[in-house]
Amino acid sequence: MISASRPFAGSVVLALGCGWMLLGGCAAPEERADRIASAFGYQKETIAGAPFHHVIYRNSAHTPADVLHVYIEGDGSPFKHRTRVSADPTSRDPLMLRLMSEDAAPSMYLGRPCYLGLSAERGCNPDEWTSRRFAPEVLDSMESVLRAQIARYGASHVELYGHSGGGTLAVLLAQRVDEVTRVVTIGPTLDIAAWCELHRYSPLLGSVNPIDAGPTRVGLQVLHLVGERDTNTPPALVQAAARARGGETVRVTAGSDHNCCWGGVWHDILDKAGAPHAPPIG
């Protein structure tokens, strides 16, 4: 279990930018994530879903609560090169793990199947982080863990926050779990077919495409953030898919791209959620 007496304030740590790469050095991606989590005072657990296991990190506010914030990371590094699959897809620079440090509300980081050192587990194969990264079995397993954690916290209002492919998963999971009242994504892939066509990628065969998953559940608030400089999920791509999904709200953020400069924006997101910010250092 990872623990520390007090998490760093996110606004200070996010300002370090590339300094997090130095924190991990040449460590494996899951070791780097553990070191970042330790610096923030998160607690780590590995939990059985169905059929996969998942790593989760909790912030210090992990007592029973009516509200729970859940953070889901992007696709990480599914490929070493365009045609060479990675042995471990874990993100080298976990944006959502860092953004959670801004959040003093009860929050947890929900690891994706086969990520964070679990790629060699039974049932894991490269399809689960490449073509089937949004497949029914991935959603089933994440849903089982999410429901168990909602029950553990006693939460009736859950907010899902996701980056890139993590935003895709957040949108799909929100359709399944009625306790989810709000979804906020950063650079989400809302139309995976159009995204693959844009980048000339092979189709994600076996994955669920959010644009085909039906309109937003009644009562669910959805906000998609996209950087004006985002070339991975460009604003026009996100806006077109959001319209097709029933007119979900899209906010284009000046000065941001797919990965950079979301720390200041996150304060506003937490303010809208009525969530307290993490305390400053000292």
pLDDT at site 282? 35
- In the predicted model, what is the mean pLDDT of residues 253-257? 95
- What's the pLDDT band for 61 if we cut at 50, 70, 90? confident
Beta strands in the chain (DSSP E): 43-48, 53-58, 67-72, 79-81, 84-85, 107-110, 157-163, 180-186, 221-227, 249-253
With 70 as the cut, is the pLDDT of residue 274 above it?
no
**Among candidates 138, 146, 81, which has minimal Cα distance to 114?**
138
Could you give the domains of the chain? Answer: 10-273 (3.40.50.1820)
CA gap 167, 259 in Å, rounded = 13
pLDDT at site 208? 98
Rounded to 10 degrees, the C-alpha dihedral 119/91/184/151 comes to 40
- Here the tokens at position 86 are 């990675």
pLDDT tens digit sequence for 183-211: 999 999 999 999 999 999 999 999 999 99
Give the C-alpha distances (Å, rounded to integers) separating 33 from 7, 82, 89: 15, 24, 13
CA gap 242, 218 in Å, rounded = 15
**Among candidates 196, 199, 144, 201, which has minimal Cα distance to 168?**
196
Among the residue ranges 14-28, 118-132, 260-274, the one predicted with the least confidence is: 14-28
With 80 as the cut, is the pLDDT of residue 20 above it?
no
